[in-house]
Amino acid sequence: MEHLNNLKESMAVTKARLKENSLDSLVWLGNIVPRILGFDSAREKVFIPYWILHFSLFTYVYVVGCVVYQARHAKVASDFVKNYVNVSLVILTVMNSYWFLVERGLLKTVLKKVKEIDNYVVQSGLFAEKHTHSLFLIKRIIHIFGGLNLISFFVVNIPNRLDLKIETFSMAICVGIEPLTSSPNREICKVLLGMTECSLGAVTLHFQTLMLILIAHTTSMYQILSDDIMMFNTELEDHRDYAYIKDKLSMMVYRHALILEITQGLKSLYSMPMGVNFGLNAVCMCFFCFLTSDEYLGFMPILVYSFLAFFLYCLLGQRLTNAAEVFARAVYSCGWEKMNVKEQKAIYIMLMQAQKPVELLAADIIPVNMYTFASTIEAIYKFTTAVKL
């Protein structure tokens, strides 16, 4: 009876979390699968057993599989090209796994600052409706992005992977457990492949979800701060409440400084992973032109992921840049000329900081925005057209 009550209580909490539009619910949503596997960002310490199993499966299935395939099975150029997709997955997995292990301290620091600025907005009660709506939109994007990847993963990727055909993924399958036509070798191989794909998928999806939450939430904080500072235009009409204006301006300076620290943290967290992802996704999409029509289905989950991740990076980066530019205009138009000299100096300092470009850079080189997305897709289209002709 006690276990049944605990189950009901857990289901009630889960239902409330899914309905709630708050930062805590978003982080909780992104940590559902990692919490089960033991590598969620909320853990105080790294769960070593999971990562040992993760890297062992990954090394055996992908690293050994790619090396053996290229040494024994690859005969023509197209075989090596198709195997590159698996090599790119190796690089991507190493980068994401390394990021979770090495950047854990910085990630927790950024999350703490994000929660601090979110708590201020919640406690102030200002723009509560806009705040709730922005979190609702972030949650919807997570559902759409995660849903598309999960459908592609379970409907296409897993069935094709468990087909145990070398031709399907251009990679040696379960090296050393041959023959795979007999039992229990076949069943053991399927279990190993299934565990590997689930572990790799969980790490990659958690990485993307955290990135989406942090960047989209920072964009939302910029937008709310812009609306808040524009209220000075009406509040300055009544100078009898000037003490409130001074206190509010002081808090706004602090909130803006906190957003800048969060943005700098995001650059440090995602600069190199974005650079690696950009390169791998672009090259993977280019190499799909070498596949035959019969091979498209097997590699479709990777193509869908590459395109969605690339688009999502650029969209989030563009929205963050746009929100920062809107805030800079809001600071200039907030009615500072009606303030005293001391407050005008504070506005001036804030304006100088706000006018500095805010943009994420992949590998500290490539701007993460929609222009990069459009120009890259155009280049891929030209490359594909030239190869096909």
* Helices 23-30 + 104-124 axis angle, to 10: 150
Ramachandran area for residue 21 (φ above 0: left; ψ -120 to 50: alpha; else beta): beta
> Which has the closest alpha carbon to 362: 259, 211, 218?
211
The predicted model gives 177-199 an average pLDDT of 86
Residues near 46 by Cβ (< 8 Å), separated by ≥ 6? 39, 101, 104
Predicted model pTM: 0.89
SS3 189: helix
Q: Is the pLDDT of residue 349 over 70?
A: yes
Per-residue pLDDT of 366-376, as tens digits, reads: 899 999 999 98
Share of the chain above pLDDT 90, in %: 21
CA 328 to the chain's CA centroid: 26
| Per-residue confidence band for 10, with pLDDT thresholds at 50, 70 and 90 | low
- 74 contacts 248 by C-beta, under 8 angstroms: no
- 303 contacts 284 by C-beta, under 8 angstroms: yes
Per-residue pLDDT of 44-69, as tens digits, reads: 777 888 899 999 998 998 888 888 88
SS3 366: strand
**What gap in Å lies between CA 303 and CA 305, rounded to an integer?**
5
